[in-house]
């Protein structure tokens, strides 16, 4: 059973305002039947230091990724994972996390691969909840296991693979990494661990729009007008064009995927999760260095 959406005025301009909730809304709805709050962070221990009361943790790396193959878990594993977290197919899931919801957006995108319908982000994430002095607890959440069905993952709608990107060259491609990674000065974000790509640079024709441009100081999403300026006016993405976003392993680009899909209402946006750690090590794929997008 879905929980009523947040009708906060600041979301009304977005294409799909029901994909966001405010901290006020969440505080009022905590504990409501049908709502499951999920924390998903970059830091695997942050949840344990204190989390929103009643929330459960989903770790992107140890739980959403297949432990052997570089891929996401399959339908059976996803069903087992969500059942164990007390999430049903019709649960309203609100995800929040650290770093302006960067990893929360990644988790939301993976939930989308399995067609989980009602999944939302807490605007501003963990930092905003904390800044407002709202409660955290280290108490373990009492989970009533649910019975999540086995749903086959859909890899065709919001996910792109290397061959899709090759076929897409010439259509809008967004590189959401830092300018240094884009130009080829380095292969990882400044101050981020080396994740192993053999070449530096970007995919030809990709525009560099660092993901954080879509986030305000307090980690909330910028107003629609600002987002239109960033993605439509400056990056030149037409409303009907198919778009592929990528970064280093597909996490930062999930944030951009969320913005384009749910806040701007772009219809055909895919996230290339292989991203630079695949492209930058693949044999004979074209690469451009420097600050210009380059041609096909």
Partner 1 sequence: MTGSDGVLPASLSDIREEFLALEQKDRLLLLLEFSNDLPALPERLRGHEDELERVEECQAPVFIDVAVDGDAVTLAATAPREAPTTRGFASILVQGLTGLRPDEVLAVPSDFPQMLGLTEAVSPLRLRGMSGMLSRIKRQVASKTAA
Radius of gyration of the CA atoms of the chain, in A = 19
Burial of 274 (0-12, 13-18, 19+ CB in 10 A): buried
Contact segment (CB under 8 A) with partner 1 among 46-54, 156-164, 237-245, 262-270 equals 46-54
Distance CA 60, CA 178 (A): 22
Residues 150-209 that bind partner 1 (CB under 8 A): 191-195
CA–CA distance from 121 to each of 5, 26, 105 (Å)? 12, 10, 7
Q: Which positions from 90 to 129 touch partner 1 by CB under 8 A, shown as an x/- string?
A: --------x-------------------------------
Contact segment (CB under 8 A) with partner 1 among 10-18, 44-52, 69-77, 79-87 equals 44-52
Decide whether 19 or 255 has the Cβ nearer to partner 1. Answer: 255
Three-state DSSP at 203 gives coil
Q: Is 66 in the site for partner 1 (CB under 8 A)?
A: no
Decide whether 44 or 166 has the Cβ nearer to partner 1. Answer: 44
* Contacting residue, 31, 49, 142, 233, with partner 1 by CB under 8 A: 49
* Contacting residue, 9, 45, 68, 144, with partner 1 by CB under 8 A: 45
Q: Do 159 and 268 meet the contact criterion of CB atoms below 8 Å apart?
A: no
Residue of 247, 259, 260, 288 marked catalytic: 247
Residues 247-286 that bind partner 1 (CB under 8 A): none
Q: Do 245 and 272 meet the contact criterion of CB atoms below 8 Å apart?
A: yes
Decide whether 27 or 131 has the Cβ nearer to partner 1. Answer: 131
- State the nearest-atom distance from the C-beta of 109 to partner 1, in Å: 18
Q: Do 169 and 293 meet the contact criterion of CB atoms below 8 Å apart?
A: no
Q: Is 142 in the site for partner 1 (CB under 8 A)?
A: no
Q: Is 46 in the site for partner 1 (CB under 8 A)?
A: yes
- State the nearest-atom distance from the C-beta of 239 to partner 1, in Å: 36
* Contacting residue, 42, 74, 155, 164, with partner 1 by CB under 8 A: 42
Q: Is 48 in the site for partner 1 (CB under 8 A)?
A: yes
Tokens, residue 141: 């959440």
State which H helix or E strand residue 122 sits in. strand 119-122
Decide whether 214 or 249 has the Cβ nearer to partner 1. Answer: 249
* Contacting residue, 7, 61, 226, 238, with partner 1 by CB under 8 A: 61
Look at the block and give the residue holding tokens 């053999």: 198
Contacts of 180 (CB under 8 A, 6+ apart): 186, 189, 190
State which H helix or E strand residue 26 sits in. helix 23-29
Other CB atoms within 10 Å distance of the CB of residue 223: 15
Q: Is 225 in the site for partner 1 (CB under 8 A)?
A: no
- Total residues at interface with partner 1 (CB under 8 A): 16
Other CB atoms within 10 Å distance of the CB of residue 284: 5
Task: Please say if 78 is a catalytic residue.
Answer: no
Provide the 8-state DSSP code for 55.
-
CB half-sphere exposure, 54, CA atoms < 13 A = 15
* Footprint on this chain of partner 1 (rule: CB under 8 A): 42-46, 48-49, 61-62, 67, 98, 191-195
Give catalytic residue positions.
247
């Amino acid at each position: 059973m879905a929980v009523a959406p947040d009708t906060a005025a600041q979301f009304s301009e977005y294409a799909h305002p029901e994909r966001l909730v405010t901290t006020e809304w969440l505080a009022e709805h905590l504990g409501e039947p049908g709502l499951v709050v999920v924390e998903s962070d970059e830091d695997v221990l942050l949840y344990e230091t204190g989390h929103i009361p009643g929330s459960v943790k989903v770790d992107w790396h140890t739980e959403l990724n297949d432990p052997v193959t570089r891929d996401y878990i399959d339908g059976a594993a996803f069903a087992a994972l969500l059942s164990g977290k007390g999430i049903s197919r019709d649960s309203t899931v609100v995800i929040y996390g650290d770093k302006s919801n960067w990893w929360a957006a990644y988790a939301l995108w993976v939930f989308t691969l399995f067609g989980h319908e009602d999944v939302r982000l807490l605007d501003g994430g963990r930092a905003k909840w904390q800044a407002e002095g709202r409660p955290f607890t280290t108490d373990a959440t009492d989970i009533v296991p649910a019975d999540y069905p086995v749903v086959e993952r859909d890899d065709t709608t919001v996910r792109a693979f290397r061959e899709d990107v090759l076929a897409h060259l010439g259509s809008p491609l967004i590189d959401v990494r830092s300018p240094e990674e884009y130009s080829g000065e380095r292969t990882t974000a400044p101050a981020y661990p080396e994740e192993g790509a053999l070449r530096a640079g970007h995919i030809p024709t990709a525009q560099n729009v660092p993901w954080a441009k879509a986030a305000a100081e307090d980690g909330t999403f910028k107003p629609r007008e600002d987002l239109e300026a960033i993605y439509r006016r400056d990056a030149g993405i037409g409303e009907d064009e198919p778009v592929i976003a990528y970064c280093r392993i597909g996490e930062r680009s999930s944030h951009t995927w969320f913005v384009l899909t749910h806040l701007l209402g772009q219809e055909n946006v895919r996230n290339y999760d292989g991203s630079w750690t695949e492209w930058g090590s693949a044999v004979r794929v074209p690469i451009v260095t420097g600050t210009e997008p380059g041609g096909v």
